[in-house]
Amino acid sequence: MSTRSLLCLCLVLALPVAVGSAQDDEAAASEEAAPEGPLTTTGRTEASAVVGPRGMTFELRSGARAVIPAGLPTGAGRRINFAEARGRLDAGSVAEGFTRIGSALTFDAALNATSNPITVSIRQPRDPGRDGRRLVLAMEQPTICREGLEPWPGAAGLCAGWELIEARWDAAEQRLVASLTTPGGRRLVFGSVPVAAE
């Protein structure tokens, strides 16, 4: 074999290695550039996933959404469920003058989110705000029992009460949104209450 033929053969054999190396470098660069934000899981009326340090976005077909941001203390991974709640909801038991907006939801993410709140939202094409009323997200949680409250499942001596969390209508997203720093309630429901209600 001539020197020229030998040189051509060496170049042909080296070319795939060089191309493969360039492709590997591009793949590594794209992995480094990939966003490290929350993953997404979807469902018709329920979405469930193991959530780790990257966080998670839960989306239901109705447009209900819960976003757990990255970096919250979930441990190695915790299964969290976001769903439409079943059963009747007595608006009068939530707060005096409470008017419900949208479906009730369940969200079992008992996390410390004080450093970076979890957001819960529902699709809302029009501003539901009215004069003399404020928008809220009511979160059901265990509380000291008193007359008229239902027992909290699995917790002797505690009953189900409601905490009202400020909500807002986002015109750009056309969504009703609230931020949770200490989630972990049984049910969540958006609504409005008279301004004086606490």
**Amino acid found at 146:** R
127-183 residue pLDDT tens: 999 999 999 999 988 888 877 777 777 677 788 788 999 999 999 999 999 999 987
The CA angle 198-109-103, to the nearest 5 degrees, is 60
12-55 residue pLDDT tens: 444 444 444 443 343 333 233 334 556 899 999 999 999 888 88
Burial (CB count within 10 angstroms: exposed 0-12, middle 13-18, buried 19+), residue 143: middle
Pairing of strands 99-107, 78-84: antiparallel
- Number of other residues whose CB lies within 10 A of the CB of residue 32: 7
Q: Which CATH number fits domain 39-194: 3.30.70, 2.60.220, 2.30.29, 3.10.450?
A: 2.60.220
What percent of the chain lies above the pLDDT cut of 70?
78
Domain extent listing, the chain = 1-34, 39-194
Distances (CA, A) of 105 to 36, 72, 146: 28, 22, 24
83-111 residue pLDDT tens: 999 888 888 888 899 999 999 999 988 88
Burial (CB count within 10 angstroms: exposed 0-12, middle 13-18, buried 19+), residue 123: middle
